[in-house]
């Protein structure tokens, strides 16, 4: 069931997967439980980074 949800919603966050699981099964699982189960299945979720980090400002020597 979880493999199918991940395949259908590849960009879903852990919270979104929990909500989808609850809608399909009627059972709510915590984000932590979902994460653990995904790890057991070898389906780790990676954080998305919205933008490239800006380089730090250089100090001028006066």
The pLDDT of residue 52: 55
Banded pLDDT at 11 (limits 50, 70, 90): confident
Q: Assign residue 47 a region (left: φ > 0; alpha: ψ between -120 and 50; beta: otherwise).
A: beta
Q: Tell me what the mean pLDDT of segment 18-35 comes to.
A: 94
Q: Report CA-CA distances (Å) from 33 to 49, 56, 57, 59, 61.
A: 23, 38, 41, 46, 52
Q: What is the value of pTM for the model shown? A: 0.67
Nearest to 25 by CA among 50, 51, 1: 1
Q: Report whether pLDDT(50) > 60.
A: no
Nearest to 17 by CA among 35, 36, 42: 35
Q: Report whether pLDDT(51) > 60.
A: no
């Amino acid at each position: 069931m979880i493999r199918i949800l991940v395949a259908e919603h590849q960009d879903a966050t852990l919270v979104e997967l929990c909500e989808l699981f609850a809608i399909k099964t009627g059972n709510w699982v915590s984000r932590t439980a979902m994460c653990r189960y995904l790890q057991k299945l070898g389906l780790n979720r990676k954080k998305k980074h919205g933008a490239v980090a800006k380089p730090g400002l250089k100090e001028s020597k006066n």
